[in-house]
Amino acid sequence: QVQLQESGPGLVKPSETLSLTCTVSGGSISNYYWSWIRQSPGKGLEWIGHIYYRGSTNYNPSLKSRVTISVDISKNQFSLRLSSVTAADTAVYYCARERYSNYGGGYYYYMDVWGKGTTVTVSS
Amino acid sequence: DIQMTQSPSSLSASVGDRVTITCRAGQSISTYLNWYQQKPGKAPKLLIYAASNLQSGVPSRFSGSGSGTDFTLTISSLQPEDFASYYCQQSYSTLRTFGQGTKVEIK
């Protein structure tokens, strides 16, 4: 049973960098995409970006200039860095595994395993 | 970005009711559409992938349909544990986007 666990500071000062790590247990980090998603208080879900285990990334254009996602296969971990944070970055941050199924030549991606989420507050 | 619009934003229903939630994509996304359930304080849970495929372990009262721009999540007989928020999400574009959510409340 694959499990994901987010870790990192719960409080970050404005203008500083938010750093979170997601540890994958019970399975390999290989052969999947690994995503970060956030949810502001009382709001919906916002996809931040994802990384393939080999290191290629895709980011939400609205955050792209401030986001870096990296992977450490040896540790079975992947990480999120979000720079120059403001109060608008206060949210619950989730990591998730994105897998795919192949139907009729198409690759259908979906997030089938999620971490429990970690709350990050941006405040001085 | 591919905008995903859900309707309604919220609904009230009773146990045993048939519930339908709609998701509309801003452009055709074939069947690259997933549905998630989220309970308060918990992470989202995958219900349906590729528009109509039931994720392992999800009760058969949940079903999904649609293709192109219009999709539906149906709960055939609402159970007490189904009161939650539901989100659609497209994976047609590399930039994944979610609908704004539908909150299912007890009538």
**pLDDT per residue over A58-113, tens digit each?**
999 999 999 999 999 999 999 999 999 999 999 999 999 999 998 777 899 999 99
Nearest-Cα distance to chain A for B87, in Å, is 8
Of A46, A112, A117, the CB nearest to B46: A112
Distance, CA of B28 to CA of A9 (rounded, Å): 40
Inspect the interface and report whether the beta carbons of B32 and A109 lie closer than 8 Å: yes
Contact A108 B46 (CB under 8 A): no
Q: How do residues B38-49 score in pLDDT, each as one tens digit?
A: 999 999 999 999
As a whole number, the mean pLDDT across chain B is 97
Mean pLDDT across the stretch A11-40? 97
Chain B interface test: which of A108, A112, A116 (most B C-beta within 10 Å): A108
| Spatial separation of the C-alpha atoms in residues B81 and B92, rounded to whole Å | 30
* Cβ contact, residue pair A44, B100, below 8 Å: yes
Q: Which amino acid is at A29?
A: I
